[in-house]
Structure 1
Amino acid sequence: MPRTAEPNDFKKSKPGEEYARTLPCNKVGYTEPFHWLALGMNDLVRSPIISAFYGICFAAAAVGIVYLVHIQGTHLVILPSLIVYMLIGPFLALGLYDASWQREKNRKPSLTHSIKAITRNSTSQWGFAVLLMVAMIFWMRIAALLHALYPPVEGAGLAEFAPFLIVGSVVGFILATFIFSISVFSMPLMLERRVDMMTAIFTSFNAVKNNAATMLVWTAIICGGVLIGFATYGIGMIITMPILGYGTWHAYHAVIQKKSTPPPY
């Protein structure tokens, strides 16, 4: 038997109780990423043990990818391996975010506390992990379809490779941009404010859209750090990945408006 409607049923929910809302963001200059990078370097120096732990984790994952490519003897495993790396990266970065957050609260960061960060908002965080996994599978299927454009003749010239390279690069850029846009600020948001997954995704996407030039610079810095890591067979990631993780936390605080920040007029 249906219950009788009550006046409270028609009241609007409080802002903090809304689902899938978009939190306001700030507009920041395109030179700000270099400031985030400097702050990340400072955090690296001030938290050597935590930085080394997560840096080694990132490096081990990179070494695993390089080793997999070597034993398989084919470049076809590179894309799936990189996607897996993109999947585990945000969760490793949670510990780095937590360390920066603890320091902002004038507390001494600890490795144990940073590891526990993964359980702070586990429902939303693991839901986001499932979303990334679906995106990963979709990306792999697209890559398999695009492989039909790969030249069947060994030793083919550049002209035969052009369709595969051009289409693959365009599709890869679109998918990578989308995944970066929904994920760059999602994890910090779910960690600090414990928002739901969709709120984190919408807020992150909106922030990237409204700071496209700035985030393009930050993306280039991230790609540079990752390339340095792979070029040094993972060793460089012991340094670069913690810096980028800390820097992303400072980027999050610079771009996403805090609760006490008044809306612009």
Structure 2
Amino acid sequence: MPRTVNPSNMPSKPVPDSEYARTIPCNTLAVSAPFHWLSLALNDLIRMPLISAFYGLCFMGAAIGIVLLIQWQGTHLVVMPSLVVYMLIGPFLALGLYDASWEREKGHSAKLMHSMRAIGRNSTSQWAFAVLLAVAMIFWMRIAALLHALYPSVQGAPLTEFLPFLVIGSLVGLVLAAIVFSISAFSIPLMMERRVDMMTAVFTSFNAVKSNIPAMIVWAALIAGGLLIGFATYGIGMLVTMPLLGYGTWHAYQETIKKKHTP
């Protein structure tokens, strides 16, 4: 079982980040906190145009590739496999944005090459987490395939026959999306900054989301909106939305997860 470090009964010496599968405590957030994170992210975007453009182009290229693949295949069946690949490369691209924000926060001049080297920081835990996300997406695909049994077999069936498929599919999708969001909201920046193991990052992220549900709902909605804008513009919107969300995630992490020296 993961061990939560409560501020009220902290030992006299700080618990090292190397301890396996623990839960780092979090702060309590205001519902409006996500908008503050976006304002800080916008400042980062303006102050670091080269880095923002580089990672924005990477995300945009991946999104355009998915859109073109769907159009080329002429079927929605390639959407989920494409998203699995996106889930694998996305966290590693976001690492560069986290590093750039972190450098600015420390008063340093953020550099593109330095941000790219962040991909190798705690790479074992990061790769394990990327695989975990991919497995979760594959599981999601299998559930979606099973739910297709509820899809009406008669072409042009009335709406009432679609309701079981739509309602159950939406509920299952919402639950799975909430779980994936909960374990990934703060995991990657935590693994990068403190080099903790994957399980510590997952438990800490889940606890932080569970403890700040209203603010996290707002943040999840903003992330979903950014992704929707990106794909609705055939990937071009990712040039701006993904750097914003990446920088915003770093500021969210910094404001949410308690620091080592916090009593």
**Structure 1 length normalisation: TM-score?**
0.91
> In angstroms, what is the RMSD of aligned CA positions?
1.4
Other structure's SS at 1:15 match? coil
Partner of 1:23: 24
Quote the residue 2:152 is aligned against.
Answer: 151
Residue 47 (str. 1) matches residue 48 (str. 2): yes
Listed one character per residue, the Cα deviations across residues 69-109 of structure 1 (whole Å, up to 9, x for unaligned) are: 11121223223333432332222111100000011111111
The CA deviation string for residues 188-227 of structure 1, in whole angstroms up to 9 with x for no partner, is 0000000011000000000000000000000111111111
Q: What does the per-residue CA deviation read over 1:104-138, in whole Å, with 9 as the maximum and x for residues that have no partner? A: 11111111111111111011111111211221221
Distance 1:201 1:28 in 2: 19
Measure, in 1, the Cα distance between the counterparts of 2:95 and 2:83.
19
Structure 1 counterpart of 2:121, one-letter code: R
**2:70 maps to what in 1?**
69
* Structure 1 residue 156: Cα displacement: 2.7
Mapped pair 1:81 → 2:82: yes
How many Å separate the matches in 2 of 1:83 and 1:26? 32
Which residue matches 1:124?
125
5+ residue gaps, structure 2, are: 1-12
Unaligned runs of 5+ in 1: 1-12
Aligned-partner Cα distance in 1 for 2:180–2:89: 13
* Structure 2 match to 1:60: 61
Paired position in structure 2 for 1:179:
180
Provide the rounded CA distance (Å) in 2 between the counterparts of 1:145 and 1:84. Answer: 22
Equivalent in the alignment of 1:203: 204
Give distance in 2, aligned partners of 1:140 and 1:186.
23
CA contact (8 A) 1:84 1:136 kept: no
* Shift in CA distance, 41/14, structure 1 to aligned 2, threshold 3 Å: closer
Q: Distance in 2 between matches of 1:153 and 1:114?
A: 53
Residues 229, 237 of structure 2: 8 Å contact kept: yes
CA distance in 2, matches of 1:105, 1:120: 18
SS of 2:115 mapped into structure 1: helix
% same residue: 70
**One-letter code aligned to 2:32:** T
Matched, 1:227 2:236: no
Task: Please say if 1:170 is aligned against 2:197.
Answer: no
Kept after mapping to 2: 8 A contact 1:151/1:160? yes
Q: Is the 8 A contact 1:59 1:234 kept in 2?
A: yes
* 1:160 CA displacement: 2.1
Check the 8 A contact 2:88/2:131 in 1, yes or no. no
Structure 1, 101-110 or 130-139: larger mean CA deviation: 130-139
Output the amino acid matched with 1:184.
A
**C-alpha contact (below 8 Å) 2:28/2:211 kept by paired residues:** yes
Worse-superposed segment, 84-93 or 60-69: 84-93
Larger radius of gyration: 1
For the Cα contact (< 8 Å) 2:88–2:134, is it kept in 1? yes
Aligned AA (2:26): C
Q: 1:49 to 1:202 in 2, by over 3 A?
A: same
- How far is the alpha carbon of 1:14 from its aligned partner? 7.5
Cα-to-partner distance string for 1:130-179 (whole Å, 9 max, x where unaligned):
21122122111111111112222223332222111111111111111101
Q: Deviations over 1:37-61 (max 9, x none)?
A: 0001100001111101111111111
Q: Distance in 2 between matches of 1:42 and 1:245?
A: 13
Cα distance in structure 2, aligned partners of 1:220 and 1:14: 35
CA distance in 2, matches of 1:43, 1:129: 26
